[in-house]
Structure 1
């Protein structure tokens, strides 16, 4: 009786997102579909009951049910509040996030949900007196329960196959929404990838060297790659957004803004290692990326001094073999930091002096905190926001869509300022320090702000909305940089409206620095058609 009641409770209490999608997948709620809904409900209860029966033993069943209730309550909260789905990438996000990002997701609403749907049912199970049959009768009863449940499920599937088959086939996201099976699938997928990571890193681009444009001795070069966080392209006024969120960048001479760029993933843990690999989105897997060198290694092979500066939660393996600086920790009295974290201007601290003192050509990666949610109002200095009122709680359901959008747009406005100051710094270095400089900016992924009732990011790519996949990308090159590498600015500007993706970044960086290597693909280099002499 306990497993049957628990199975019914699991299907009913934690699967609001699943049932909402299932109703939509089967043509919407209508009287004629009641047999389908009832049949699906009974089949799921019987499936869960059969599985729980296999662990229904003294000293086992209670801890199992308590763990299920606690885990499912947290998972169902995030799915219902933010419209996310639970897959291996989401588990990776949870495991690899830092404590400050994790704290932003904690709220009183979450505590209430976990208490009501997790802690209280667990206490009830713990206090229940259970009576077990003699061993032989108990095993026979369990075997009969499992067999009869599976037979009943098979019968229901046969009866409802005509309706269920197309719904399940066309709506693959259902498997990411069914709790608690999604938690087990996602955890298994993550652990399988994690444990499969080989200890030996395969070399990449060890043949890398300087191309013919380096033959004539010239000035040192400094190239800055700015990796944005959670910035979606549609909220950049450079891309036609109705609000002026890019007042500084729109005034920067020589800036090329690419308006149609797709991300490799919908979460940092996927997009960052993917964009710095040469695998491309179609060929990317976490174990492949972690088992070989990437873009920064190839640049080191070519003789560049590479530095990763981080104001986020790490580089997710992309910078494992290069110099690394963490600038995210606040210092007392530092104007570029708040009480809990540092603003992205911290990434520019002492950067000019570093460029001036460098003896070799440099590539510097600046990893922003950007627009990471849900506490958007913490991403920019107080008083620097233009849009208001802003949502100042991580319980987004308590805020209006307008206040959420205002806070998010203020983060884009601040990113605009940081990028513009980066360009100013590079322009000054080019003029005063005799360095050829360039900048390439791209965000790792976008963000949902209530569209389709979804918030934040990390949706499985197959069902992710455009808001999470379309990202900004822009490039600025000094006059000396363009002349040295024979880059035609007007040609590059003419390509700004063409569709590109994260797949282009690896090869574009190699192309803009004229790095010669067998792993370079000129067809994926955005600059290649605009480089005189190619």
Structure 2
């Protein structure tokens, strides 16, 4: 018996089999959502579900037949199997949907963050659903129809598939249309079309980005402070990572995750704030732009200057300190310090990453030596998952039992939440340390100090069977959008910029969003510019000129 005999198959049959395999093997998330959206499993709905299956197979069959040529089809199918197997794993493991922002987030994630997603189950999935079918295709002897006859048969195959698909769509349109209209997430769940469309959109977006950066707020100036307080100001803008408002005890969470901040008498906690996006690659550029969520696009944000540029135009020294995967273009024209890479002997670094307190190293000296008003951005590692347990030092591992693996399906939801809450507990400590540092600087150096904290986006911890973040905004759950926002102002800062603390405290329950950050930072520093919108400035009703 010759075990080296390769399987023989005709080219049309290979494509049809591949289409069936794609629809069946990789689309559990799509089918779960679709069946639920169309009334669930029942004999009455069986014709619709079967018709949809055939419809998708025919559409895939028509598309794949376009590349069904010798020397082309095998490489394309191998790439398709490998990419779709990885996509299948993440969609089913974490309940994620795939869109352009998810692709952007993936491509802009650093190697260390990406490595946290690797595990044996991912490798097993890629082996079974990627490597095995790829090997079968590579070994197969494919019989192609030659000449004009082959071309005619291929065109007929494509045309016939599209014709029958159109007929099925016509017959079942009345039932399909409501489901597709009311459940827009379905297009982000159907593989491989979801990631193909997302990659195409990302590439178009990158090509469309302007080569010349348009100036913004060149007219920015600081309004002169009235009275006697003209001391320098230093503001920390802390950009949190993956912190959701629901798990902050300051917002009513039952577990005490903010024991230190709760003791800060002048801290203002804004309890109703929404993010601009559900992934760092979108939220960070958006929150530092003047565009607002409704007008935001990646190409617009990267084609014009942002908040940090306007602050520079107004005469502020601006510094970005990073313990994450970069500033996503927002700090390209200001001073940048990468503190995410471990250095031998640094007390805040363990293995291949550093805890967030490293961002505070050397800050007192920086503040003391500054000769002008200064804004320092601290970009946290925060609560980045799925390795939540790595985000907090041992002293802050107070809640348990803790999930200590990136394979979240092997952990109870309680242990996942406990690991996440420990990271929030450490963020509480980090922010409190930052405030104490600013207090000390205000007293010793007679400097007006302030801190503004907000997270880039939230996180799903198993609600609706979803994990992590990055869901398309239109279908994203509240857990991925609702973020913390806090403010601390020294007495000197409030005096210099004529800010009414009690007025601000009365506004902490109002609904705000990342759209307010750009204009509020300008407003809190009394910066005058044509791009400033007082209607989006949280401070506007609470400031007065002396």
Using structure 1 for the length normalisation, give the TM-score.
0.99
1:53 corresponds to 2:65? yes
**Mapped partners of 2:483, 2:164: distance in 1:** 48
**Mapped partners of 2:227, 2:26: distance in 1:** 65
Name which of 322, 326, 337 aligns with 2:349: 337
Residue number in structure 2 paired with 1:524: 536
User: In the TM superposition, what are the counterparts of 1:146-185 in structure 2 within 5 Å?
Assistant: 146-185=158-197
Q: How many residues align?
A: 534
4+ runs of 1 displaced by more than 4 Å?
A: 214-217
Q: Secondary structure at the match of 1:280?
A: coil
Name which of 386, 395, 411 aligns with 1:399: 411
Whether the 8 Å contact between 2:96 and 2:471 is mirrored in structure 1 is yes
How far does residue 389 in structure 1 lie from its aligned partner after superposition? 1.1
Name which of 403, 406, 414 aligns with 2:426: 414
Whether the 8 Å contact between 1:446 and 1:468 is mirrored in structure 2 is yes
How far does residue 424 in structure 1 lie from its aligned partner after superposition? 0.1
How far does residue 333 in structure 1 lie from its aligned partner after superposition? 2.4
Residue number in structure 2 paired with 1:142: 154
Q: Secondary structure at the match of 1:130?
A: strand
Q: Secondary structure at the match of 1:397?
A: helix
**Mapped partners of 1:236, 1:498: distance in 2:** 17
Residue number in structure 2 paired with 1:75: 87
Q: Secondary structure at the match of 1:283?
A: coil
**Mapped partners of 1:419, 1:435: distance in 2:** 19
Q: Secondary structure at the match of 2:409?
A: helix
Structure 1 alignment gaps of length 5 or more? none
**Mapped partners of 2:303, 2:65: distance in 1:** 41
How far does residue 433 in structure 1 lie from its aligned partner after superposition? 0.8
Whether the 8 Å contact between 2:276 and 2:514 is mirrored in structure 1 is yes
How far does residue 216 in structure 1 lie from its aligned partner after superposition? 5.8
**Mapped partners of 1:390, 1:138: distance in 2:** 61
Name which of 233, 246, 251 aligns with 1:239: 251
Residue number in structure 2 paired with 1:193: 205
**Mapped partners of 1:333, 1:178: distance in 2:** 48
Residue number in structure 1 paired with 2:42: 30
1:127 corresponds to 2:131? no
1:306 corresponds to 2:313? no
Residue number in structure 2 paired with 1:221: 233
Residue number in structure 1 paired with 2:107: 95
How far does residue 253 in structure 1 lie from its aligned partner after superposition? 1.7
Q: Secondary structure at the match of 1:426?
A: helix
Whether the 8 Å contact between 2:242 and 2:384 is mirrored in structure 1 is yes
**Mapped partners of 2:280, 2:66: distance in 1:** 38
**Mapped partners of 2:362, 2:368: distance in 1:** 10
1:281 corresponds to 2:293? yes
Name which of 432, 456, 480 aligns with 2:444: 432
How far does residue 334 in structure 1 lie from its aligned partner after superposition? 1.6
Deviations 1:487-506 (A, max 9, x none): 11111111100000000000
Deviations 1:131-183 (A, max 9, x none): 11221111011011011111100110111011001111111111111100111
Name which of 7, 26, 29 aligns with 1:17: 29
Whether the 8 Å contact between 2:229 and 2:496 is mirrored in structure 1 is no
**Mapped partners of 1:210, 1:134: distance in 2:** 76
Q: Secondary structure at the match of 1:218?
A: coil
Name which of 360, 383, 391 aligns with 2:372: 360
Whether the 8 Å contact between 2:84 and 2:130 is mirrored in structure 1 is yes
Residue number in structure 1 paired with 2:267: 255
Using structure 2 for the length normalisation, give the TM-score.
0.97
Deviations 1:452-490 (A, max 9, x none): 000000000000000000000000000000011111111
Whether the 8 Å contact between 1:338 and 1:381 is mirrored in structure 2 is no
Name the stretch that deviates more: 382-391 or 297-306. 382-391
- Give RMSD over aligned pairs: 1.0
